[in-house]
């Protein structure tokens, strides 16, 4: 671990870009990536979503004031943390619907929605479809093997 010269940093940056990666040396950009990582892990990979407010969870996890994180995120990303979370929750709901292992009530409980109606309205607002209609479309797209 040593401090890189400006020339070494430029060379490293160039090699990373050629590999499809980028060097993140901006502390704000790194914090934005940490926020995204916490949200993605929370929504897509946690066994169960936290029972606390997302704002409290993110703030505690990153050890920053939520207002600061929210303002920074909005400024850099052009969307709110709340909208980012909702878009990930909707994608996770789509995934769960496609898997077909849970009904809408179970998905609503699993995703910490207060009701199926709340999940449905948020899903429809984001996709233009109700969860039931989305499920029907998925089923219509699939042709059983016997029918091929």
pLDDT digits (tens, 9 = 90+) for 108-143: 998 989 999 999 999 999 999 999 999 888 766 555
| Number of structural domains found in the chain | 1
Is 15 among the domain residues? no
CA 13 to chain centre: 27
Give me the domain span that covers residue 87: 25-147
Is 17 among the domain residues? no
* CATH code of the domain containing 34: 1.10.10.60
As a whole number, the mean pLDDT across the chain is: 86
Please report, for residues 18, 36, 45, 53, the alpha-carbon distance to residue 49 in angstroms, rounded to integers and kept in the order given. 37, 15, 9, 10
Is 60 among the domain residues? yes
Q: How many CB atoms lie within 10 A of CB 42?
A: 18
Is 39 among the domain residues? yes
Is 92 among the domain residues? yes
In Å, the largest CA–CA distance within the chain is 65
């Amino acid at each position: 671990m040593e401090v890189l010269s400006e020339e070494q940093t430029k060379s490293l940056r160039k090699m990373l870009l050629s590999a499809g990666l980028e060097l993140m040396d901006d502390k704000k950009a790194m914090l934005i990536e940490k926020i995204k990582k916490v949200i993605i892990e929370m929504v897509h990979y946690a066994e169960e979503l936290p029972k606390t407010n997302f704002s409290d969870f993110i703030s505690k996890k990153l050890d920053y004031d939520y207002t600061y994180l929210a303002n920074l995120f909005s400024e850099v990303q052009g969307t709110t943390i709340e909208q980012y979370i909702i878009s990930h929750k909707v994608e996770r709901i789509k995934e769960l619907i496609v898997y077909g292992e849970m009904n809408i009530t179970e998905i609503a409980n699993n995703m910490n929605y207060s009701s199926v109606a709340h999940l449905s309205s948020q899903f429809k607002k984001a996709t233009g479809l109700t969860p039931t209609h989305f499920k029907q479309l998925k089923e219509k797209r699939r042709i059983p093997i016997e029918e091929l």
